[in-house]
Amino acid sequence: EMSNAELVYNAKLCEQAERYDEMVEAMKKLVQMGGELGVEDRNLLSVAYKNSVGARRASWRVITSIESKEQEKLSKDDESGDGSKKAQHEQRLEIIREYKSKVEAELEQMCRSVLDLLDNHLINSEENEAQIFYKKMKGDYYRYVAEVKNGDGRGSVAQQALDAYNDASTLSAKKLSATHPIRLGLALNFSVFHYEINNKSDMAVKIAKEAFDDAIADLDSVDQESYKDSTLIMQLLRDNLTLWTSGDDQDPEGDN
């Protein structure tokens, strides 16, 4: 069995090699050993899952886009009455959908694995920066599950994301400065959640605008160490606000 220090080193090695699924395994073991995670360990956990799940999210988007193109072809076949083409496109759609559900299952399993770590090992009733980080993370991974769900399944998962983001927001308003990267990153992701999953663009704009304006007002007191991170997230918030208030229907920037 590896010690804590060895697991951390192993995770960093996986990160350098860009083998994120293995990085996830190392960090999962570290968390399950118990004890508090330091800032570096917390960030390693986040990077591991973000890249591992991120790869599946990217695959899912590509497959979904291919699916909608095939669906369009099928609709045209219906109009033209071309039976042989219609059969081919139906067959392709079946292959696409089967593959898509495989990627969805992988994505959801990965999200559930980090949610399980958060609920059973990391989230507690303390009011500190780490708890805000973990509750934001909980919101993010329920959001990623909601992205690939539809119908009733989506509603309940979206509600869990909303609850986690609300908890994190209440705590961050109380404990972190307006320019703190965790508070800004939370506002960025929470606003994207409202825009993409909750279909409440007015709420998305409100959260992003408040976070941006509060940070601007407090910019003089920004921590030199986090200046670069803070201003980068502020830029993303502003980009989204521009996008959302221009009526352009593009995908928002995000994911801090």
Quickly tell me which residue has 């909601």 as its tokens.
146
Please give the pLDDT value at position 250. 67
Tell me what the pLDDT averaged over the chain comes to: 94
Q: Tell me: the pLDDT tens digits for 149-161?
A: 988 889 999 999 9
Phi, psi of 247 (to 5 degrees): 80, 10
Please give the pLDDT value at position 18. 97
Where does residue 176 rank: exposed (0-12), middle (13-18), buried (19+ CB within 10 A)? middle
Q: Tell me: the pLDDT tens digits for 32-53?
A: 999 899 999 999 999 999 999 9
CB atoms near residue 238 (< 10 Å) = 15
Quickly tell me which residue has 């869990």 as its tokens.
160
Please give the pLDDT value at position 169. 98
Position 152: which residue type? D
The CA-CA-CA angle for residues 142, 146, 148, to 5°, reads 130
Please give the pLDDT value at position 29. 97
Please give the pLDDT value at position 249. 62
Taking the model in full, what pTM does it have? 0.93
For residue 17, give both structure tokens: 């090699």
Please give the pLDDT value at position 254. 67
Of the candidates 190, 217, 215, 216, the one whose C-alpha atom is nearest the C-alpha of residue 205 is 190
For residue 247, give both structure tokens: 């009526």
Please give the pLDDT value at position 60. 97
Distance, CA of 188 to CA of 192 (rounded, Å): 6
- The stretches in the chain having pLDDT less than 70 are 247-251, 254-256
